[in-house]
Amino acid sequence: MALKEWKETTRDRLFLLLAFLLPALWLVVFGYGLNLDVEDIPFAVLDRDQSEFSREYLQRFIQSRYFSFRGYAHDEHSLDRLLTETKIRAAIIVPERFQEQLVAGEAVAVQTLLDGTFPLHTDIAKGYVIAINQAFTEDRLMDFLRRSRGLTREQAGVLVRPLSVEVRYLYNEEVRSTWSMVPALVMFTLMLASPLLTALGVVREKETGSIYNIYSSTVSRAEFLTGKLLPYILISLVNVCVLWLMAVGLFQVPFKGHFLLFFFASVLFVCCTTGVGLLISLLVQTQMAALIITMVVAMIPTILFSGLLVPVASLTRGAKVQAHLFPAMYFTNIVRGSFLKGVGVEVLWQDLLALALFAGGLGGLTYHLFTKRPKA
DSSP 86: T
CA distance 160 to 366: 69
Predicted confidence at residue 23, as pLDDT, reads 72
pLDDT tier at 31 (50, 70, 90 boundaries)? low
Q: Which long-range contacts (CB under 8 A, 24 or more apart) does 319-325 make?
A: 319/33, 319/35, 322/33, 325/301
Between these two residues, 195 and 217, which has the higher pLDDT value?
Answer: 195
Which DSSP helix (H) or strand (E) runs through 55? Answer: helix 52-62
pLDDT tier at 16 (50, 70, 90 boundaries)? low
Do residues 128 and 167 make contact, with C-beta atoms less than 8 angstroms apart?
no
Cβ contacts of 213 within 8 Å, gap of 6 or more: none
Of 110, 137, 115, give the one whose Cα is nearest residue 41: 115
Predicted confidence at residue 165, as pLDDT, reads 83
CA distance 113 to 116: 9
Domains of the chain (ranges; CATH) run 41-170 (3.40.1710.10), 176-369 (no CATH)
Highest mean pLDDT among 14-28, 118-132, 205-219: 118-132
In one-letter notation, the amino acid at residue 265 is A
Q: Say whether pLDDT at 156 is over 60.
A: no
Q: Say whether pLDDT at 357 is over 80.
A: yes
Predicted confidence at residue 9, as pLDDT, reads 55
Of how many residues is the chain composed?
Answer: 376
Cβ contacts of 304 within 8 Å, gap of 6 or more: 29, 30, 33, 34, 319, 322
Q: Which long-range contacts (CB under 8 A, 24 or more apart) does 52-56 make?
A: 52/99, 53/98, 53/99, 53/102, 53/103, 53/140, 53/141, 54/94, 54/98, 54/99, 56/136, 56/140
Of 245, 103, 108, 230, give the one whose Cα is nearest residue 186: 245
CA separation (Å) from 116 to 41, 84, 132? 13, 11, 20
**Rg from Cα positions in the chain:** 27
Strand segments, DSSP code E, in the chain are 41-47, 67-72, 90-94, 109-115, 164-170
Highest mean pLDDT among 17-31, 182-196, 205-219, 296-310: 182-196
- The sign one gets for the Cα dihedral 304, 306, 308, 309 is positive
Per-residue pLDDT of 140-155, as tens digits, reads 666 665 556 555 555 5
Cβ contacts of 340 within 8 Å, gap of 6 or more: 116, 117, 171, 172, 179, 180, 183, 253, 254, 256
Q: Say whether pLDDT at 221 is over 90.
A: no
- Average pLDDT in the chain: 83
Q: Say whether pLDDT at 122 is over 80.
A: yes
Mean pLDDT on 282-286: 82
Predicted confidence at residue 90, as pLDDT, reads 93
Do residues 34 and 303 make contact, with C-beta atoms less than 8 angstroms apart?
yes
3-state secondary structure of 168: strand
CA distance 251 to 137: 42
CA distance 214 to 374: 9
Predicted confidence at residue 206, as pLDDT, reads 79
Per-residue pLDDT of 231-257, as tens digits, reads 999 999 999 999 999 999 999 999 999
Of 225, 226, 268, 229, give the one whose Cα is nearest residue 369: 225
Mean pLDDT on 342-360: 95
Q: Say whether pLDDT at 209 is over 90.
A: no
In one-letter notation, the amino acid at residue 2 is A
Mean pLDDT on 111-121: 89
Predicted confidence at residue 40, as pLDDT, reads 86
Do residues 171 and 117 make contact, with C-beta atoms less than 8 angstroms apart?
yes
Between these two residues, 134 and 80, which has the higher pLDDT value?
Answer: 80
Q: Say whether pLDDT at 109 is over 80.
A: yes
Mean pLDDT on 213-220: 69
Q: Say whether pLDDT at 376 is over 50.
A: no
pLDDT tier at 375 (50, 70, 90 boundaries)? very low
Q: 204-208, 276-280, 324-328: lowest mean pLDDT where?
A: 204-208
Q: Say whether pLDDT at 99 is over 80.
A: yes
Please report, rounded to a whole number, the percentage of residues in the chain having pLDDT higher than 70. Answer: 82
Bridge-based pairing of strands 41-47 and 90-94 is parallel
Of 175, 69, 161, 166, give the one whose Cα is nearest residue 115: 175
